[in-house]
Amino acid sequence: TVQLAKILAATFQWGLIKPLESRFTDVPADSWMFPYVETAVARGAMEGYEDGTFRPNTAVPWSAVVRSLAQVEHWDRATFRAWLFLDAPVGHWSAKYMSGVSKLATVSEDGFFYPNSQANRAQISQMIYTVIMHKAEEAEPPDRDDDHNGQE
| DSSP letter, residue 80 | P
**Exposure class string for 4-32: b at 16+ Cβ within 10 A, else e:** bbbbbbeebebeeeeeeebebebbeeeee
Check if the beta carbon of residue 127 is closer than 8 Å to that of residue 101: yes
- The domain segmentation of the chain, as residue ranges, is 1-58, 59-140
Model-wide pTM > 0.75: no
pLDDT 10s digit of each residue in the chain, 152 long?
899 999 999 988 999 999 999 999 999 999 999 999 999 999 999 999 999 999 999 998 887 887 888 788 776 544 334 434 445 555 655 565 555 555 555 556 776 667 778 888 888 888 788 777 777 776 666 665 555 555 55
Rounded to the nearest angstrom, the gap between the alpha carbon of residue 91 and the centroid of all alpha carbons in its chain is 20
